[in-house]
Amino acid sequence: MNGSSVLVVEDEALILLDIQSALEEAGFLVVAANSAALAIEAFDADPQSFKALISDIRLGSGKTGWEVARHLRQANSALPVIYISGDSDIHWGAEGVPGSVMIAKPFAVVQVITALSTLLNQHVPASPPPSQN
């Protein structure tokens, strides 16, 4: 129900690999995408299978990380979202989604793992159907 995979979107191959390796070593399942189009395609194929999004802002041509996050939040309004950026962090206040985290480059990968763990741990479980218990 919470999904099992973390979707990572980054068009620079080396940074994508770095984040993917670190997350997998920390015990997370990762779906890596090097473009917005591939990320959205993977998500739309099975929205329930994802538990978080980590996205760069500038993703070459096509949609930006801001747009990827909004698309995913349409389907899952509480999906944890982490943005990574070298120069777009000043636009986070206008373009980010509520409850998201912005990590400015250069960053240590442990910052991404800490942000991801913290957002997952804050995830409030949904209300159960009424009961008398």
Nearest approach in angstroms of CB 73 to a copy of itself is 4
DSSP 11: S
Residue 101, interface with a copy of itself (CB under 8 A)? yes
- Which residues partner with 33 through β-bridges? 9
Mark the segment that binds a copy of itself (CB under 8 A) among 8-16, 31-39, 55-63, 101-109.
Answer: 101-109
Residue 21, interface with a copy of itself (CB under 8 A)? no
By three-state DSSP, how is residue 81 classified?
A: strand
Residue 36, interface with a copy of itself (CB under 8 A)? no
Q: Which is nearer to a copy of itself, 65 or 96 (CB)?
A: 96
**Which residue spans within 1-133 are E strands per DSSP?**
5-9, 29-33, 50-56, 81-85, 101-104
